[in-house]
Structure 1
Amino acid sequence: MDSASPTASASTNRGGRPKDWTEPRTRRLIRLYLFTTLPLHKILELLEEDDFKPGKDAANKVKNTVLGNDPRWIRPRDDNEEKARIRGLRNSLRGRRGRQNVASQGPSGTAPGHNINQGTFSEDRSLGGTTITQSYRSSFEESHWPDSASFAHPLTTNNTYSMALDEVTSSRFIPSLIGRRNSNRQDTGLTASTDISITSALREKLSFLSLSKAKRTFKVLKRYTFPKNLESQHTFDISHGPEHLSSDGGKSRPLDATFAIPGDFLNFELFANRSRCATESLAHAAGTCWCKVDDQVGPTRKMWANTKVSGHISDQGLMLIDSFGNTVFHYLASLDGIQDLFIHLVSQAPREPRLPFGASNTAGQTFLHVLHHSWFREGSRLTELLDTLRAQNFDIFATDVYGRNFYHTLRHNRKNSARFPGQTADISRINRRDAFGLKPMDPYPARDNTYTTTHTQVTQGANTSIAPGLSRPTPKINTQAAMIEDKEIYMHVDLLKVVVKAVGVDEDFAPNPQNEDSQGRNGFHCLAEIDFGLAPATPKHNARAYPIDESRLSPPGQSKRRYDDSEEIEVPRTVSDSRRLECIRGLILAKVDANQYDINGNTPLMSFVLHSSDATKYEKEESETVLRTLVHSAGARLEARNRSGETALHLAARHGKTVALRVLLELGANPNTRNGQGLSILEVIDNLYLTTERDDKHNARFEACRAILTRTPDATKQSPNLLDEWGKK
């Protein structure tokens, strides 16, 4: 008790109470807690300084405040996991900065970035901007962040970060060759030479550890800390979207490969301008140009170039599948001048069940997604091909990771045509919204700034603004004292109406699975945002309180009115009684699409991730169960991407949703995906980490996400390549 909450003394020290936990102290606590297996009392001993004596109770309160309810599951389970996590820190942006500073003054005289003890480390130039937003029912509900913020990547080739002297001089351990005299404690091999500056107190605190573990602990505590002098960094920005316009409107510059997916690797025309790729361009520096793609997929392209296929259905060449899941049918569909041969093979393919005829590649593309543009010219045999496929029950409406089906490709290649071959009953499947807000059958507007041209289609950035004249009036709630405005309750009522109509619990009792609101959100999207515990004059957990109802206040001179539990909406205490899960089951029975995109480019799984919470044990369990149900029972796709190229796993990491991150990884989500700027998940976290110096809660969340992602040695790569991202698992 004395250590947890000591009494005041002449030094005025408050003894480790929460108010004494400054940002640096909290960050050190969280790093040691997440990246080492040290017991909490040993961590607190390492944090002691001057008159600051942290107590266990105060430390637990601080830890649980920033990491959520009972974060013990995030800790490393053993030394192997600890090593893997610290290796991840070593490969991070801040880890590379630390090595650069050490190398610049190393005793061996080696050049910066080439320390003899740590090998050669090339600087990663692929970092660009990213955003963080606060979501409803967020894990950060008490924080107030702007809707978006840009984060830059420092080019460190000609820029050495100036770190604090004590961090620079204490960056490495050198094993002591001469034992310390007159010492009865274990020798850790730590020295206080001129090259290493480490206080005797810290050496004493680490003496109970082995040399290797002491080194790891010291690195976590002192080296992989928050970098200084952020204002000195250079910005490295990448235009969001695949077309970088030059002075001639972009005509002289090839499109970059920002949104390249496996079907594009078969399009030899996209690689024709490799020799024209400017090495000084932003796309080349970020690794998103076609020449960089060619370097990684060259062997696959060479394999297909050497493939010869006969017209006989028994040809063994028809069994070929590349590393990205592209079949020989994908390859043949991407070629020009072989329509007769291709239709012949397609019509015969069902006779050989072993053939990968209807298979999709790792981006969800069938061969219809990669048809050569000659198939869309007048006089082609496209209609015959489609009729043949329908007769064989081929999935013509299959969608790729951006929600695009064959008709999006048709729309792009036949901009001036309104003909969409298909049945009337298929209109809802034909006119499916993709991640970029485009529906194939919608009118094709004139090109403007809301459009981004990609190598496969023109995609529209949806306009989510609402004209002032069409906005809904602010609702009023009558009370005995006054009229209280409450937009939030009205908003949740509207969301619930979408769910109810989709399930069919309305006047007609007729389910309408296609029902959506003005933002394109279907029942699943809306259900993710509903707060079932919301009621007038009843603040939700960790949120701002509603306006005070003065009618509830006690008259002057009378005692305060006793709280009545019946005035608050009862919240289920177990997940089995969750109203949200009950509604999800109803939406699944009504066959509501769990992969539909809203006009902002998010799927229901993304919405549930963004609005998940881990503030209480119940919310943690509910979030986990909901995500598993969406994937296993509703068929939500883990690798679906939004218009920024992010998967649900990207969003979980970028918003600090630790529970969602863990569940998605357990469900099989690929941690080595990259967003539309070519940034991996760990690179995004690095950028976000640079912005949280004054925000303990966000800083801790990003540290926790990095810890979860780097549990095992090869779980998540700092800079994955195309095979890591799109290769068959």
Structure 2
Amino acid sequence: MGRRITELANSPIQVRAASEVHFPSAHEGQGHSPMCGGSDYHESSVGAGSRPSSASPSDAYSGSIHDSDVFMESQASRSCVLFDIPEESPSQDWGCRSNSMGVCPRDGPFAKFLRATTFMTESSANTTGTFRKHLAGYSEPYVKVVKRLVKRFTSPAAGLENMTQEHNLRVAWNEDWIGGPEATTVFDTDVPLPGHLLNVDFSARFGHIPSIAPTWEDWLNQSQGTFHWMTPKGPSPGAYMYISEQTSRHDEPLLDRHRHTVLHFLAAYAPFSILYQALASGTVKDIVNYQNTAGQTFMHVIRDDASVGPDQIEELIRVARALSFNMLARDCYGRSPLHVLTMMGKTIRLHSLHDLDPREYLQRDALGFIPIIDNLSPVRPYFGGDLSSDVLGLRHYAIPHPALHPTLSNDPAVSQESQLVQNIRVSMENRFHEDDLGHNGLHCLAMATLSLGSIAEKHGLDRATESLGPRENRKVVDSSEQIMELRLDLLKTLLAAGQDPNHRDVFGNTPLMAFAAALPEENEYKRGPLILQLLIEAGADVNARNKRGETALHIAVRFHRKLAARTLVKGGANVDARNCEFQSLLEVCDEKMQSEPQAYSKYLACRAWLSGAAHAVQSPTFWQEWEVKNRVIVD
């Protein structure tokens, strides 16, 4: 709990919001504001002293709480009058008067706790038992009143107006419903990755970014005793021997703090001939497929050498593949080595990949790029032909009801709901199938509405309409146990059919991101995490990023999915990840609490868990984001 409070105290958005909250009081205008303190107070109040203008917003909580004070929850919410607040102290009196400087000469056991943060959380950790611990010696009614006051009057949402009924984020099949059109993308920002540390120009290129703090030089000085391949002045002493031909052995499992091997170092810094010799020697077979913390293989970080032509690229691919190098390995942005070579303008000859299925390597990355292969014109395969009515056991769920058949509905939205189900059926017969927006069967399953009740609610249909089928079927919604179990069964069938859990749609989103955003958490809370866990076990990259630099964990936070966030962290998600705007998970949560007050309590619960059990920090540095770290243990 102490760690979470510290992170809350470091939240500039919440500090600013808390400082702007206005709480009218019965004493207002008389110098007796209960939140800001006054000259008159009761000696057994929770705290004492007037609050100087330069004090932290949390310092206001040391003001007096009178038994006759009247508090207002917010201008937009109902007033709440609390009479007869207990006035008591433990065995030793901890109330005190302020001195002439407005400073309390001694603090009680709870005063420091209150000043540590802008507000308390509503997570399970903020239970009455926690307050009992901090208020040891006080009676149960007193503890409960303090808990209620802390939660109510220190929330940034308390001062927000127009608090409407909480809305539900909707899935839109024909747009980028996961991200916003104005969001910063990798197109707009030069985002540093750990592979850039293998270049001496790292500081010149990225030193202006605030998260590159401490500087590269200072970070190296703080990392004494650990191995590094590169420094701002060039290769480290331990790395220089590999480019000075002082050794022909390159099979040592020597890793830096970002999991770079000697192959990464040679590819990024050494002349092409030295890299080729290391591969041709065969001594690097055991490390040839090592990926750094961003998923980059040695070929992802290869130096752009204009003197290297098509013949050298063909030979490089040949010797690498002879060592079982995976040409389809993808980094966190979905780029394979073929994407990287294409972006460098290198010619990739088709016969270098003669035994690979073009549908496997002609895959888009997070930015929508597809590798260009010489003498190969990528043509989207045609998957025509009549569909079988019995597709891998899906016959009972192919169309929830005849009213949802595309040819029987005049509502385009309802027709599209049916089309998503049809896409799922097609994907079970052909694992490479995707719709016009790049969604494969897994994306469609995440977006599909599988219950008549949810379809009627989503599209404003009258549930009493007889065309929707039997009345009992119209009561079932997507968050019910029955439909969640159906979705889980369909997922198992799609994965067994060979669907790619890392396939990206035209917006750069993976199925894991779609499920993290779309899975309901209202009623059934067991099968949602099972769905995400099954995807991760099937190979879904839990740290894959879309074109905004977001991981599935970022998306779960934006859509206030606490259960999804827990499951992703349990599966190895990086809690220090930042998006293309260099926002951490906690900063995204803070921003959403301000912009989406209707869902404030859900964002607050996400933030509480992340900053507590998940050990997320407010502003992680580049070094924290990308260094090798232990997986967070989730109970």
Smaller-chain TM-score bracket: 0.5 to 0.7
Correspondence for 2:550: 646
Task: Write the distance in 2 (CA, Å) between the matches of 1:196 and 1:436.
Answer: 56
1:225 Cα deviation after fit: 3.5
1:525 Cα deviation after fit: 0.6
Correspondence for 1:499: 424
Aligned sequence identity (%): 25
**2:7 counterpart of 1:88:** yes
Question: Which of 574, 578, 592 matches 1:688?
Answer: 592
**2:278 counterpart of 1:345:** yes
1:183 Cα deviation after fit: 6.5
8 Å CA contact retained: 2:536, 2:542:
yes
Task: Write the distance in 1 (CA, Å) between the matches of 2:148 and 2:255.
Answer: 47
SS in 1 for 2:305: helix
1:548 Cα deviation after fit: 6.5
Task: Write the distance in 2 (CA, Å) between the matches of 1:372 and 1:539.
Answer: 52
| Cα distance, 1:170–1:405 mapped onto 2, change above 3 Å | same
RMSD: 4.6
Correspondence for 1:701: 602
Correspondence for 1:610: 517
**2:88 counterpart of 1:170:** no
TM-score with structure 1 length normalisation? 0.58
8 Å CA contact retained: 1:188, 1:207:
no
Task: Write the distance in 2 (CA, Å) between the matches of 1:390 and 1:703.
Answer: 49
| Cα distance, 1:309–1:652 mapped onto 2, change above 3 Å | same
Correspondence for 1:363: 294
Structure 2 counterparts to residues 344-493 of structure 1, below 5 A: 344-350=277-283, 356-374=287-305, 377-378=308-309, 381-414=312-345, 419-420=349-350, 421-423=352-354, 425-441=356-372, 485-493=410-418
Structure 2 counterparts to residues 295-314 of structure 1, below 5 A: 296=219, 300=228, 301-302=230-231, 304-306=235-237, 307-310=239-242, 311=245
Task: Write the distance in 1 (CA, Å) between the matches of 2:511 and 2:290.
Answer: 25
8 Å CA contact retained: 2:368, 2:508:
yes
Task: Write the distance in 2 (CA, Å) between the matches of 1:540 and 1:702.
Answer: 26
Structure 2 counterparts to residues 112-191 of structure 1, below 5 A: 170-172=60-62, 186=91, 189-191=94-96
Deviations 1:43-66 (A, max 9, x none): xxxxxxxxxxxxxxxxxxxxxxxx
Deviations 1:52-83 (A, max 9, x none): xxxxxxxxxxxxxxxxxxxxxxxxxxxxxx33
**2:565 counterpart of 1:625:** no
Task: Write the distance in 2 (CA, Å) between the matches of 1:572 and 1:716.
Answer: 29
1:549 Cα deviation after fit: 6.3
Deviations 1:122-152 (A, max 9, x none): xxxxxxxxxxxxxxxxxxxxxxxxxxxxxxx
Correspondence for 2:253: 319
Deviations 1:597-643 (A, max 9, x none): 000110010011111101212xx2221111111111x2111000010
1:649 Cα deviation after fit: 0.5
SS in 2 for 1:260: coil
Deviations 1:62-112 (A, max 9, x none): xxxxxxxxxxxxxxxxxxxx33332222222256549999xxxx99xxxxx
Q: How many residues align?
A: 489
1:171 Cα deviation after fit: 3.4
8 Å CA contact retained: 1:528, 1:604:
yes
Correspondence for 2:385: none
Deviations 1:197-248 (A, max 9, x none): 9xxxx99x99977458979987655445448699xxxxxxx9935677xxxx
Correspondence for 2:581: 677
1:326 Cα deviation after fit: 0.8
Task: Write the distance in 2 (CA, Å) between the matches of 1:515 and 1:552.
Answer: 31
| Cα distance, 1:593–1:297 mapped onto 2, change above 3 Å | farther
Structure 2 counterparts to residues 199-210 of structure 1, below 5 A: 210=134
**2:179 counterpart of 1:261:** no
| Cα distance, 1:550–1:405 mapped onto 2, change above 3 Å | closer
| Cα distance, 1:225–1:240 mapped onto 2, change above 3 Å | closer
8 Å CA contact retained: 1:498, 1:517:
yes
Task: Write the distance in 2 (CA, Å) between the matches of 1:577 and 1:533.
Answer: 10
8 Å CA contact retained: 1:170, 1:222:
no
State the AA in 2 paired with 1:264: H
SS in 2 for 1:664: helix
8 Å CA contact retained: 2:267, 2:299:
yes
Correspondence for 1:582: 489
State the AA in 1 paired with 2:342: R
Task: Write the distance in 2 (CA, Å) between the matches of 1:710 and 1:526.
Answer: 33
8 Å CA contact retained: 2:521, 2:563:
yes
8 Å CA contact retained: 2:569, 2:575:
yes
8 Å CA contact retained: 2:431, 2:497:
yes
State the AA in 1 paired with 2:543: E
Correspondence for 1:516: 434
Task: Write the distance in 2 (CA, Å) between the matches of 1:428 and 1:700.
Answer: 45
State the AA in 2 paired with 1:359: Y
| Cα distance, 1:575–1:544 mapped onto 2, change above 3 Å | closer
TM-score with structure 2 length normalisation? 0.66
Task: Write the distance in 2 (CA, Å) between the matches of 1:720 and 1:183.
Answer: 42
Task: Write the distance in 2 (CA, Å) between the matches of 1:725 and 1:342.
Answer: 29
8 Å CA contact retained: 1:161, 1:228:
no
